[in-house]
Amino acid sequence: MVSVSYQLLFEKSELKDPKMILNDALDNITIEIDKTIFEECIQSQYSKDIGEKMIFLCFKIDLDEELDEDLNDDLIDEVISSFNDELKSNEIEAIFKYYDNDLGNELKKYHSKIFEIEMKIREVISFILIDTYGNDFYDLFKEINIGKFQYPKKRMVKVEYEQNVLKSNESMRKDYLSTFFENESFYLNFGQYQKLLQTKTLQQGDLFKIARFSNTYEDFQKNIVDRGIKEDLYIEFLEDVKLLLDDIEPLRNCIAHNRTLTESESGKLTDIHKELNKKIEVFNNALEKEGILKIYS
């Protein structure tokens, strides 16, 4: 079953029955079909006069393969596309398309790419930060200009914490994140990855902490200067991918909010997906070659 809902704004003098518009659209289908099977496909939902001259009409189209043996996915797509074209050719002031499970299925394909990209990047980032610090596995951004883990307020599990506590309470933050097998990288958006190489400005409280674990003045100076990610391979990788990741953020927003991607946007996402997979593979190979990472088969 494919359902698509529409809202149309007509001038009353130009009002046309959506069933007639669908009938005209069926004339443009490349496959010969029995138009009578579509007679009950349009379900009117409501209408409302808008002022003296306009009428607001809402309806949906339900297309089910059970209507006819020839009504397959390709034909359904063609019917909807032809109907959309026919709407554009009529004297309609405004057209809005809402619930569209065909669009939903298309967005699921894009979301799977976003999901794969994000999980692979989180995996790499976690490795880089854990290898850089060697401890504080639930406080990975302590030296980076991103800020502390940004908590959700609650989750539907037995673990619930008050707002703001997770930022300041290390043990509660660790308990919360470990419950879901996550770390702070799960709370970054794609635009924030470019900040991973920016060390934060030290405040007076930070200097006191550094002084406490520094044995000499030279150690104190070194601990102030020698902060953040230092390994050349890690820096090169993060520099190499940050623009690609930054480009994903508006595409992810489009998918998350169920908006139609243009052809160029969908092509861009596919290209980024391929390019990032290549860069991660090259990075892993370089880690193995340099003896930083052991690969187990």
More confident residue, 225 or 93: 93
Supply the pLDDT for residue 170. 72
Give residue 161's pLDDT: 44
Is residue 5 within 8 A of residue 83, CB to CB? The reply is no
Identify the weakest region by mean pLDDT among 91-95, 102-106, 198-202, 266-270: 198-202
Task: Please give the Cα distance from 198 to 245 (Å, whole number).
Answer: 16
What integer pLDDT is reported at residue 146 of this predicted model? 67
Pairing, β 2-11 against β 42-50: unpaired
Beta-bridged to residue 95, according to DSSP, are 8
- Average pLDDT of span 75-85: 88
Lowest mean pLDDT of 149-158, 168-177, 193-202, name the range.
149-158
Handedness of CA 199, 203, 209, 211 (dihedral sign): positive
Instruction: Decide if pLDDT at 156 tops 60.
Output: no
Q: Is the pLDDT of residue 145 over 90?
A: no
Residues 245-263 pLDDT 10s: 989 988 999 888 888 888 8
- Look at 86-90, 146-150, 293-297 and tell me which has the smallest mean pLDDT: 146-150
120 CB contacts (<8 Å, ≥6 apart)? 276, 277, 280
**pLDDT > 90? residue 240:** yes
Query: Could you tell me the pLDDT band of residue 222, with boundaries at 50, 70 and 90?
Result: low
Max distance between CA atoms of the chain, in angstroms, equals 89
Residue type, 269: L
CA-wise closest residue to 4 among 106, 112, 91: 106
Task: Report whether pLDDT(205) > 80.
Answer: no
The alpha helices in 65-160, defined as continuous H runs, are: 73-89, 101-133
Parse the chain into domains and list their residue ranges: 2-92, 104-146+189-289, 147-187
Q: What is the pLDDT of residue 203?
A: 66
Which CATH number, 3.50.50.60, 3.30.70.380, 2.60.40.2220, 3.30.70.1070, labels domain 2-92? 3.30.70.380
| pLDDT-wise least confident of 18-27, 171-180, 280-289 | 171-180
- How many other CB atoms are found less than 10 A from the CB of residue 258? 12
Question: What are the Cα distances from residue 277, in Å, to 18, 241, 272, 284, 292?
Answer: 46, 11, 8, 11, 20
151 or 245, which is more confident? 245
Residue-wise pLDDT for 116-134, tens only, equals 999 999 999 999 988 887 7
Strands (E), 177-293: none
Q: Taking the mean position of all CA atoms in its chain, how far away is CA 264?
A: 17
CB atoms inside a 10 Å sphere around CB 35: 12
The CA distance from 202 to 143, in Å, is: 9
Q: Give the integer Cα–Cα distance in Å for 196 and 146.
A: 7
Q: Which range is least confidently modeled, 15-19, 98-102, 124-128?
A: 98-102
Which residues are within 8 A (CB) of 60 and not within 5 positions of it... i.e. 6 or more apart?
3, 4, 5, 6, 42, 43, 45, 99
Q: Is residue 184 within 8 Å of residue 177, measured between CB atoms?
A: yes
Are the beta carbons of 203 and 102 closer than 8 angstroms?
A: no
The answer, yes or no, to whether residue 150 has pLDDT greater than 70, is: no
71-81 b/e (C-beta count within 10 Å ≥ 16 → b):
beeebbebbbe
Q: What is the pLDDT of residues 44-69, one digit of tens each?
A: 778 999 999 999 999 999 887 666 66
Lowest mean pLDDT among 17-26, 103-112, 129-138, 282-291: 129-138
